[in-house]
Amino acid sequence: MLDIIRKWWSIIQSKITHILKQNDWEKPFESIEDERFIFLTQFLNWLTYWKPVPKNGGFLTEETHSAMLRQTSVMIEFIKYALVELRIPYVLPGKIQTDMLEKRFGRYRSLSGNNYNISVVQVRVKKIRVSWMKGACGSKQA
């Protein structure tokens, strides 16, 4: 089962670094006949049927299962649309992830005392303070 999840992760996180990593599962999609595209559709079916099956101790949380199911189905549709309808030469799924956005909001939450529900006002005030402190500490005085 871990091999299946590892393949899925490689496909979903695929970026141009597949050359350095020598991992064919991270290559760009160029066709919907690609074995990785077929794997994604089979993985989606596997996730759908796996949920109600007794897990014998190994399981995904409801949230994780739901997220994987949604992300896989959306990625399949996105890749198909980009390659077939838009005729884009290749698709790198890892480039359309929200990881960078989540990282930025993580920093904002951290600046607000690790408060999960932060407001726009808090973000603006904290950014201004950080910017001011960088400028004040980093400036040379004559």
Q: How far apart are the first and last CA of the chain?
A: 64
- Per the listing, tokens 């992830």 go with 97
Are 84 and 121 contained in the same domain?
no
C-alpha 105/C-alpha 52 separation (Å) is 35
Q: Is the pLDDT of residue 132 over 70?
A: no
Are 64 and 110 contained in the same domain?
no
Tens of pLDDT along 8-45?
988 888 776 656 667 888 888 999 999 999 999 999 99
Tens of pLDDT along 64-122?
888 889 999 999 999 999 999 999 999 988 887 767 677 777 877 777 777 777 777 77
**Cα dist. 4→40, 63, 102, 122 in Å?**
10, 19, 26, 42
Are 9 and 64 contained in the same domain?
yes
State which residues form the domain around 27. Answer: 2-96
